[in-house]
Amino acid sequence: MSRTRIKICGLTREADVDEAVDAGADALGFVLYERSARHVPLARAIELAGRLPPFVTPVLLFVNATPQSLRSASEALPQALLQFHGDETPAQCDSADRPYLRAARMAPGFDLLDFAAEFAGAQALLLDTHVDGYGGSGKVFDWSLIPPSVPLPVVLSGGLNPANVTEGVLAVRPWAVDVSSGVEIGKGLKSGPLMRRFCKAVREADARLAAL
């Protein structure tokens, strides 16, 4: 059993970046969607990502961005993973010519296997709760909606926090987990203690799985 990777998303402050790395995050997400309360301009994302040590991956989150915006961001942060969270088609995602995550908004009736086949070029599928509009809901979706065998790595998202992420890892056994509001004291303002508790809870779940 490989360990579950941890992505913390929506960072806006230097101190939060440093504490997230210290807590054990594998990837940090920077939101380039202007309508998000956690939005940072590309120049700011570059500054924050510059604090990351080797082997901690910056992730740039887009919602229906223009091709020029994607090119600019990719050229400015060539080491970043892209995350598409809008209505992007497979062709639009693939045209970025960069490794990417594709968000899937989970709801009854949504066919994740068809979605996975459609976005076969993705590095992984990030499973989030369906909401009107775009962005995270801070709410947990019904994990039983996830098919038992998904052909791409799964990143479990949607309402995770230090209190429920152990259960999520044990139930879903995802390749990675993603958290934003669950480790915040305000929109875009992360809590060091909550991030550490979250990462510790993931490691506890990994230990329990390894013991099975």
Lookup: tokens for 116: 């996975």
Give CA–CA dist 65/103, Å, rounded: 14
Give CA–CA dist 16/152, Å, rounded: 30
Residue pair 123/153 in contact by the 8 Å Cβ criterion: yes
Give CA–CA dist 190/91, Å, rounded: 34
Alpha helices in 36-140, H assignment, sequence order: 42-49, 67-76, 90-95, 112-118
Q: Is 129 exposed, middle or buried (0-12, 13-18, 19+ CB in 10 A)?
A: middle
Catalytic residues: 9, 128
Torsion, Cα of 124, 127, 133, 134 (10° steps)? -50
Which residues are CB-neighbours of 95 under 8 A, at least 6 positions away? 67
Task: Classify 45 as helix, strand or coil.
Answer: helix
